Structure 1
Amino acid sequence: MNTILRVCHLNKSFGKQEVLTDLNFEIQRGDIVGLIGKNGCGKTTLMKMILGLTPRTKGKIQFKGDSEYNTKRNSLNKIGFLLDCKLFEDFSAYDNLKLFSMYSSSFDKSELDKRINMLLKFVGLDSSKKLVKSYSFGMKQRLGLALALLDDPEFLILDEPFVGLDPAGVRVLLDYIVKLRREKRVTILISSHQLHEIEEICDYFLFINGKSIETHTKLGKNKIIITLEYAVPELEQSLSKLVTLKEGQIILPHDMMLLNSILKLIYKYNCEIKEITVSDSIEELFRG
């Protein structure tokens, strides 16, 4: 295991309002991690704290083992982000990258042109003089991704990158994210409400639940949920080692042989079934 980001006992309050409480998690190098939770739960606040844009109230964040990384330009240059990206609409994509490089790029002048052209090719944009104001929303998002990659980051933070994109645009951006991990081993933290899409590419998920955080691995595309009319302790005891039990529900993977075994036990104990549903494993977190 090679930990690139470690968060320890992190708290954030705005005045008397506590937003995040005692967050603890690690992200491993090369992983794609989904950050999910309901609106207003603190996802963007957490991302801004990692970037050093928002001060933390308590706790520690380490990047590559360094808790002082946010005071060092060389360390911060290794973290790219797409977070409410502002573009120069009256300039070309190339000129946008050139302008941003004046403030952040660690590449010297002789390498910079090559770097910019490579990034534009990577995200599927040409280096023509076409102005950004004529771009579609999807093209602007891809330019934002190129800006986030300008300094060749090791860690990339993407906050709701699919907002405003049509299905084709979402697919294109997903492919670029996977390509980044495959070709450059970039570690990626991504927040999104496009749960079906990010479940496809993420290795695991950080779910902000209330003010705390939980880690969830992927359980497969779908799962089966059996809701009983009432709880039966003997049945729950028999099922406890086979499936997940939660508030009168039996939750199991999409496995028909296992489902048949569970149904036999339910009938054995004369339990009444209220409903059986097939539900997306990540979307179900929002209902819990």
Structure 2
Amino acid sequence: MVYIGYFNIVESKDIINSPYNPRLDSMADRVVRGSILDKDGNVLASTETAEDGSEYRSYPYGSLYAHVVGYSSQGKSGLESTENFELLTSNAFFLEKLSNEFRDEKNIGDNVVTTLDTSLQQASYNALGDNKGAVVILEPTTGKILTMLSKPDFDPNTVEQNWDALNSDPDSSLLNRAIQGQYAPGSTFKIVTALEYIREHADYDSYVYTCNGSITSDGVTIPCAGGQVHGTVSLADSFAYSCNSSFCNIGLSLDISGYRDTAGDLLFNKALPGND
């Protein structure tokens, strides 16, 4: 009984959303897939009907939202995948659903309203240009995702026609670099390094280091950005200038076990709250 309860309460959504679940096919036969909207109600994905009566997904913004919204042919990705169950669930008034059943018509699936901001998404798209990379913009006070962008991109409207080319693309245009790329955190991790140093040194305000533009340890030389020489810096200066050599010096002095614990306190390598 405990296992059944856990399965129904905790694991049910993941099981229902599994591409191996045949129930999804039966739901798609009875429900017109809902739309995906940005925070202002702009349609990012919708179901349209072709002249022959067949249904297809339309993506009005094309490649602008390719990775975060995803596609719904040749499998599913992005929000089309993670919100699959919601898009195929209809919470229409029961009399409306009953009427549709009698008329052998499909019910309309629920819409998914996101926190995405199209103006910010477009600005990020333009700024990234033809470069490979990703842009993510969060609302600091809430954690809402306002922008998620990855390049190279693709047109989700033509995924089925271009599937072979997309799969063999040497630039991996199907890869969402914002969440699927594995990259070193870079200077953002200096926050963790600084916090651990403060925890280990009550007199952290007295920290002084002379930056000569680089630091060498065990035969490895780490330069500051552009080889810039920051001179004599405090901990606050090191952080403000993002001084690589100073932070390497700090990192080499830290207790590795405490450093790891501090990273853990900031939820590195841990499930985020609400996603357990």
Query: TM-score if structure 2 supplies the norm length?
Result: 0.25
Q: Which has the higher strand share?
A: 1
Q: Point out the structure with max Rg over C-alpha.
A: 2
Query: TM-score if structure 1 supplies the norm length?
Result: 0.25
Q: Which one has more relative contact order, counting CA pairs under 8 Å at least 6 apart?
A: 1
Q: Which has the higher helix share?
A: 2
